[in-house]
Amino acid sequence: MSKYAIAIHAGAETVKPETISPEKEKQFREGLQQALQAGYDVLEGGGSALDAVEAAVRSMEDFPLFNAGRGANLNEQGETAFDAAIMDGKNLKAGAVCSIHYVKYPITLARAIMQESKHVLLSGEGAEAFALSQGLEMEAPEYFVTEERTKKWKDKLEEQLTGQHDTVGAVAVDKAGNVAAATSTGGLSFQHKGRVGDSPIIGGGTYAHNSYCAVSCTGEGEPIMKGVLAHEVYAQVKYAGNSLQHACEEAIKVDDDKLQGDKGIIAVSPTGEVAIAFNTNQMKRAYRIQGGESVVAVWKDDTD
């Protein structure tokens, strides 16, 4: 019997546990619960999977400790820049945006591109002009920059290192059996200006198909993009006949000798199965299936 369900992520990273205070871990869990509830409420009320993943991701774009929207990482110039994508498994329509600076909810711009543009992916000033034409909320650059991200940027400026690749995303299936996926990110801390990761790449970090699954990836964008991991999950289910969980686990390991790096995947099937796989010691994640309780987890050894 099919059930509606939603799963979300807010980043997969290999981190030292002692660097995450109990208070910050508590805040992570609260942010995950809020986003999960935002999406689940849509499904419970009979809303679409597309509406649910947008609602969940918007919640995380508003949450200053997650790397999307407000509180996003700063690039080497000390600027925020956002990428996002959304895909509807019912009709394979998709919208994506990259290298934007002023749009309050990048995921909503991605959806507007999907619905109102003849294109799939818009970037930079052109994407922002399109956002203005659609009447979307805009903010000045300082709105997105938090004190914590500024401190990390200054530390990275001294170290000349990259890191902090905690992307957010959501996948859902609604009462009608339609699936959707959405992913949003502020990119890597101290990344090159103009760098684009896997999140807005359809098949790379985001993919959805009603017959098989919806997938959202997180981690280091370069290996995820080169491995086309979101589509790999779909292919493992469609062509190899693997279960969704096994497909996610296999996708994480694809060409691992060549595509090394932190990787995390969430997926949902048209029948309400949720799958989560990652190769890190931390993946901020949550899910809820119709008739069940919310599950919120941060560390690898948390009970899912």
Is 218 annotated to bind a ligand? Reply is yes
Spatial distance between the Cα atoms of 132 and 143, rounded to a whole number of angstroms: 17
Handedness of CA 227, 230, 236, 239 (dihedral sign): negative
179 CB-side CA count, 13 A: 29
Spatial distance between the Cα atoms of 176 and 192, rounded to a whole number of angstroms: 42
Is 197 annotated to bind a ligand? Reply is yes
Is 257 annotated to bind a ligand? Reply is no
CB 60 within 8 A of CB 31: yes
Give the CA distances from residue 229 to residues 214, 224, 263, 264, in Å, rounded to whole numbers and listed in that order: 12, 6, 9, 10
CB 166 within 8 A of CB 218: yes
H-type alpha helices, 123-243 = 124-133, 141-144, 147-159, 221-227, 229-238
Is 166 annotated to bind a ligand? Reply is no
149 CB-side CA count, 13 A: 31
Catalytic one among 162, 167, 183, 280?
A: 167
Spatial distance between the Cα atoms of 114 and 92, rounded to a whole number of angstroms: 10
CB 181 within 8 A of CB 171: yes
Spatial distance between the Cα atoms of 279 and 300, rounded to a whole number of angstroms: 9
Is 195 annotated to bind a ligand? Reply is yes
The answer to whether residue 146 is catalytic is: no
Spatial distance between the Cα atoms of 56 and 40, rounded to a whole number of angstroms: 8
Is 292 annotated to bind a ligand? Reply is no
For residue 165, the SS3 value is coil
Q: From the annotation, which residues make up the binding site?
A: 195-198, 218-221
Q: From the annotation, which residues make up the binding site for substrate?
A: 195-198, 218-221
Catalytic sites, residue numbers: 167
